[in-house]
Amino acid sequence: MISTGLSSVFSGCSDAAGIAGNIFAFVLFLSPIPTFRRIIRSQSTEQFSGLPYVYAFLNCLICLWYGMPIVSPGVILVATVNSIGAIFQLIYISIFICYADKAKKTFVGYLSVFSLISMFASPLCVINLVMKTRSVEYMPFYLSLATFAMSLSFFAYGMLKFDPFIYVPNGIGSILGICQLVLYSYYSSKYGEDSRESLIAQYA
């Protein structure tokens, strides 16, 4: 009985702390509103920096992921508040970009280039595994194909719009996509079904 009572108290305290954290986080998400009212009124970002909102957006996405029930059961309050936070930060970033001067827009452009190249290159981290095991089991074909198709399309779009912040990262993405498809094709054709055999089965 005592242990059950303590468990109930502990559960109640943790829920209360989580709800309080949600409330304070919501207040935190609302706190930049006066700043953005000033930006909209003056139609300029003045000397304000957009980096805190970019970092906050990324933090909210990561915490949202962490709080999902399939990742961390029992901490749903982390997911709920950060899903709202991500929406707020995305709105702030959009407003900031709209009223930013050319130098700040250029900086945002470089950030997008870096993030896009990182995204396109991320599947290549398994290349060493593919070459070592001669198996493409952990190199998803449809992911590689979709990456190539999307990056090629946006490369063409960026070229037609004369926007280097679009065509440069997507051009690199096209090349990386081709590398993945060539690697997949090489090991699939050379080693046939063995290249798609489960690695667990190979080492069993």
* pLDDT of 173 strictly over 80: yes
CATH of the domain at 125: 1.20.1280.290
* Pair (94, 108) in one structural domain: no
Distance from C-alpha of 44 to C-alpha of 35, rounded to nearest angstrom: 11
Question: What pLDDT was estimated at residue 4?
Answer: 61
pLDDT band at 10 (very low <50, low <70, confident <90, very high): low
Domain boundary among 100, 126, 145: 100
* pLDDT of 150 strictly over 50: yes
CA-nearest of 89, 152, 97 to 120 is 152
Residue count of the chain:
204
Phi/psi for 43 (5° steps) reads 55, 40
* Pair (1, 90) in one structural domain: yes
* pLDDT, average across residues 131-139: 73
Domain extent, residue 141, equals 102-194
Domain boundary among 76, 100, 124: 100
* Pair (74, 60) in one structural domain: yes
* Pair (92, 3) in one structural domain: yes
Distance from C-alpha of 75 to C-alpha of 18, rounded to nearest angstrom: 8
Q: Which residue has the higher pLDDT, 43 or 121?
A: 43
Q: Total domain count for the chain? A: 2
Question: What pLDDT was estimated at residue 202?
Answer: 44
CA-nearest of 123, 128, 105, 113 to 172 is 113
The answer to whether position 73 is within a domain reads yes
